[in-house]
Structure formats: C-alpha cells, structure tokens
Amino acid sequence: MSDFDIFEGMTSISAVIKSIQNGSSNRKIVKILYNQERLSKKFRELSFLKHSAEALGFEIIPVDACEIDSLTSGTTHGGIIAICTHRTFSSLNVKNLTSGGFYALIEGIEDPYNFGYSVRSLYASGVDGIILPPRNWMELSGTVARSSAGTSELANIYVSDPVDAVTTLKNAGFEIACAEIRNSVSIYDHTFSDAVLLVIGGEKRGISRKILELADTNVRIDYGREFMGSLPSASAISVISFEILRQKRNK
C-alpha cells in the first residue's frame, strides 16, 4: 500500500471528501472499504458516502473486519477506511499569500501525532497557511489526519525551505515571530502585526539559528507559577495561535 494513503474513520474520510470538493487537495479516493456488520445501522453515513462516491467516482466495498484490520495500524477506524492517492503540496508563492494573513512555519516537530495536534490548533485558530520543510510528516497522512481530526486535509499547506520561506514572507512585509524563550517578550505584552509568520520548532532541536537571526521578535508564554519546564510544542502552538486570533478579533 506504499503507493496509497489509508485514512481511518469517518472524521478523516469526511475531511478528505471535503478537501477534494473544495479544491484544497488533489488527492483522489480509490475506494472505501467498510465492515457492513458495524456500519449497517449508520444510514446517514452510508448515504453520504454513496452520494460522494457517485460524484467523485470511487467504489464503496463491504468487506470482513479482518481485511480492514490487516490494513490499519490501530482499532479506532470504526469499521471504515479509505484508500487514496497521495496528495501533492504547492510551493510557497508570494503572489498567493493572503494580505494581512496569519501563517505558521513548523520546523522540527518529529512525532506525527504532535504534528497532527499542531495542525488542528492552527486550523481552528484561523491560520491562512502552514509551511513545512520538504521532508515532513505528511508521509504518514492517515496518522496525521486522525490526530488532527481531519484538518490536515483541509488546511492550506505549502512546502518550502524554512530559511527561504522566512525570507520570502519577511520581504513581503510579514512580521517574523519565533516561539523562543531567549531574548523574548511575553505574547501577552506583544502586539502582533496584522501580517505575521509564527515559527515553531520541535521540542528537541528548536528553531534553527539562521531563522532566529531573521526574526523580528521572539515570543514566549508566561506561566501562572514558577515552572522550569516547557509546554509540548503542540500545546504552545495552541496558546500562541489563539492569542494571535484574539488580537486580530480586537483590532
């Protein structure tokens, strides 16, 4: 199945269908396999899938539970999976940037679940685009889709060398804000620009030196008590991205 991506469960599959319909993805669904015994009473879901199959041209095939289990890595599929072609991502192009937009560059998050949680928070906070290095966790699209509640299929995702991306957005007038503790200001004391690129690093490697040198500001999250540790990257992304949303709504 290396030539295909497998999406498990209705949440992920519904997101794939929506992304194809609205043009945010060039992925195609080859076929959907479902365990008739588990889904026989879910008339609404089956009706939705049959209607989508007619519109998008894929098969819906009832199979035994063991066949689905043999193709999946866990037990959260709910008796249904979609076998899909790979998705390709656009290169970052300054002409396609949203004026006054909020973009995020994820650099160095290594765990696909944390990556998915990060995408979910960014998407929910209204991010206009997510920028990833050429090698990223979208190779595990099914896992990422589950952990992101399907938002990884709906988000605008671009691929770019991180330094090139930062340089491009900086030259386009975006504020470059790095989530970095050194020489930082609290997110609650900093006024983010209308056009902002938030850069987030992984918990092990952090943000690369070249990008930190290009940053306009470093921002941190103040804690409610003395705390020598740090939040997981996915949690920090959620806090900062929703502070950016709050400020945008109050302008």
User: In this structure, what CATH number is given to the domain that contains residue 165?
Assistant: 3.40.1280.10
Q: What is this structure's pTM? A: 0.90
Together in a domain, 69 and 102: no
Give the type of residue at 132: L
By three-state DSSP, how is residue 216 classified? Answer: coil
Together in a domain, 137 and 53: no
Which pLDDT score, from 0 to 100, does residue 169 have?
Answer: 96
Mean pLDDT (the chain) is: 90
Together in a domain, 65 and 164: no
From 84, 101, 117, the end of a domain falls on 84
Together in a domain, 106 and 203: yes
Domain of residue 68: give its range.
Answer: 5-84
* pLDDT, tens digit (0-9, with 9 covering 90-100), for 44-87: 888 899 999 999 999 999 898 888 888 887 667 888 999 999 99
Together in a domain, 101 and 78: no
Together in a domain, 113 and 196: yes
Number of domain units in the chain: 2
From 44, 61, 84, the end of a domain falls on 84
d(CA 119, CA 149): 9
Between 21-25, 36-40, 198-202, the lowest mean confidence (pLDDT) is in 36-40
The CATH number assigned to the domain holding 44 equals 3.30.1330.30
Nearby residues of 226 by Cβ (< 8 Å), 6 or more positions away = none
* pLDDT, tens digit (0-9, with 9 covering 90-100), for 117-169: 999 999 999 999 999 988 755 667 888 998 999 999 999 999 999 999 999 99
Order of strands, sheet of 29-35, starting from the edge strand that comes earlier in the sequence = 5-8, 80-84, 29-35, 59-63
- The β-bridge relationship of strands 217-220 and 184-186 is parallel
